[in-house]
Amino acid sequence: MARVSFTANLQRHVSCPPSEAPGATVREVLEALFAGNPRARGYVLDDQGGLRHHMLIFVDGVRLADRAALSDPVGERSEIHVMQALSGG
């Protein structure tokens, strides 16, 4: 399963420890994870389920391409980092 870790700054608002979740795309992995942590979803995704404007996601070191549908593929041992963009600071 892919492993997801979140920006440390998010922990101040909602608990989001590094976690593993199944899925073949970023969307599938995150929704599986947020199913067990629904409050965290709104901190990362906007009302339409797209990645928030000032958030970034890296999959195995590569920046997420599809910010709206999150369709980027994820491998069995992928590392997904959900981070803040400096533009939002």
Partner 1 sequence: MSDRILVASKKGLFTIRRGREQRWAIERADFLGDHISLAAGDPRSGALFAAFQHGHFGAKLHRSTDGGLSWQETAKPEYPEKPKDEVDNDPMRGTPIPWSVERVWDIVAGTPRTPGLLWLGTIPGGLFRSRDGGDSWELVRSLWDLPERKRWVGGGADLPGLHSICVDPRDDDHVFVGVSCGGVWETTDGAKSWTVRTRGMIARYMPPEMQGDEIVQDDHRLAMCAAHPETIWAQHHNGIFRTTDGGRQWEEIFGAQPSTFGFPVVVHPREPDTAWFVPAFKDEKRIPLDGRLVVNRTRDGGRSFEQLRKGLPQVHAYDLTYRHGLDIDESGDCLAFGTTTGSLYVSNDGGEQWQCVSEHLPPIDCVRFA
Using CB under 8 A, list all residues that contact partner 1.
Answer: 7, 9-10, 13, 39, 42-44, 46-48, 50, 52, 54-55, 84-85, 88-89
Strand order in the sheet with 55-59: 19-21, 2-6, 79-84, 55-59, 62-63
Q: How far is the CB of 75 from partner 1 (least distance, A)?
A: 27
- H/E stretch holding 2: strand 2-6
Q: How far is the CB of 9 from partner 1 (least distance, A)?
A: 7
Residue 1 or 50 with smaller CB distance to partner 1 = 50
Rounded to 5 degrees, what are φ and ψ at 3?
A: -110, 130
